[in-house]
Amino acid sequence: MKPGKPVGNRGGPRGARTSGAGKAGGAKSAGPKSAGSKPVGGKSAGGGSAGGKFAGGKPEGGAGARPARAERSGGSRSESNRGVTGARQYASRGAGRTGKIAVPGDERNRPVDKPLGGEQIEGRQAVRELLLAGKRRVHEVWVSVELDAEGNQNEVIGDIVDIATTMRVTVTKVARRRLDDQARSEAPQGVLAFAAPLQETELSTLLVRKGNKQPFLVAVDGVTDPGNLGALLRCCDGAGVQGVVLPRHRAVHVTPTVAKAAAGAVEHVPMSVVGGLPAALARIKEAGIWVVGLDDAADKTLFEIGDLAVEGICLVLGAEGAGLSRLVRERCDMIVSIPMLGRLSSLNVSAAAALATFEVARHRAV
């Protein structure tokens, strides 16, 4: 008998069933089949096949019988069976590579915020400033053993070892090849350090006036080159910038290359990481701070900002080539340019940051 065919007299009308084989309360009756059906239990006296069939066509009872499948209720799976099997079927998708079950709405599925970074510092000046600043814990310092063998351990390396020893920071001498393999910048200069990550500064903290000094901020829009960001941070430290605002996404943060190019400025310049730069600029404007963007197509020049520089000001610098995004440009109170007298139309973003920040610093020093 094929699965799914009604059980009853073969000669009877199609679909006719006896009360013993029908559904009762959503489950099949345990009673015997109707007259004319195959016997339930062991083999019949006439050498017939094993007992009668139930939903799915598997034999009931007898030797070698398989366990019965889940009972049907109203033609669908029972609630308990659907709750377990269905959840496993859909919740385990994508678990083949990770071995984890990703349940929709689970906290683990939310995107992880991109941290500020700074756990690995490379370069002699950067490591030295890390130790001198003393603002975060330094776990270990690696120094290349070849520096001693070649007599190239200069004064900065000696200072690093002495400061680390005084601070009870472990100094490990390692082979140059091992150090270079660990390094992420092009030239670690024979030294690197492992430290706690840099702490982000809340944007609201940067907007507060400190003493008689108005806030002096720099916002970076879409800068992804680590060398540019590092040089920009170094300029900000030299010009007395009180804080740098970085987007959390689509922008570089403090990588080993950034820290090396900044030459220790990452330890002294507060940095705030915001979810969206346009919204952050709107908050800055609400705090009474002028937002001035730099763009080579602007009519006014940087040297025409005048007294605006002595008030609360935030300079906005865009990525080289792309410049300021549309939404960021709309949030600016003023757009200025750096006059170019040669054939090139613009400067590198770090060079533009140097000119702009020191122009503001010049007005504030008067």
Domain containing residue 183: CATH number: 3.30.1330.30
| Mean pLDDT of the region 69-88 | 42
207 and 175 within one domain? no
Residue 23 lies in a domain: no
Per-residue pLDDT at 101: 41
- For 177, the domain range is 120-195
Asked if pLDDT for residue 362 goes beyond 70, the answer is yes
CA 228, CA 312: separation in Å to the nearest integer?
Answer: 25
Residue type (1 letter), 206: L
The pTM score is: 0.69
Instruction: Give the tens place of pLDDT for each residue, 280-312.
Output: 999 999 999 999 999 988 889 999 998 899 999
188 and 208 within one domain? no
Residue that is last in its domain, among 195, 215, 230 = 195
| Total of domains in the chain | 2
Residue that is last in its domain, among 174, 195, 216 = 195
137 and 208 within one domain? no
Q: How far is CA 99 from the centre of its chain?
A: 21
Per-residue pLDDT at 293: 96
Residue that is last in its domain, among 195, 218, 234 = 195
CA 135, CA 154: separation in Å to the nearest integer?
Answer: 25
CA 22, CA 17: separation in Å to the nearest integer?
Answer: 6
304 and 251 within one domain? yes
CA 180, CA 183: separation in Å to the nearest integer?
Answer: 5
Asked if pLDDT for residue 245 goes beyond 50, the answer is yes
Percent pLDDT > 90 in the chain is 58
Relative orientation angle of helices 155-166 and 124-133, to the nearest 10 degrees: 30
Residue 244 lies in a domain: yes
> Is residue 103 within 8 Å of residue 167, measured between CB atoms?
no
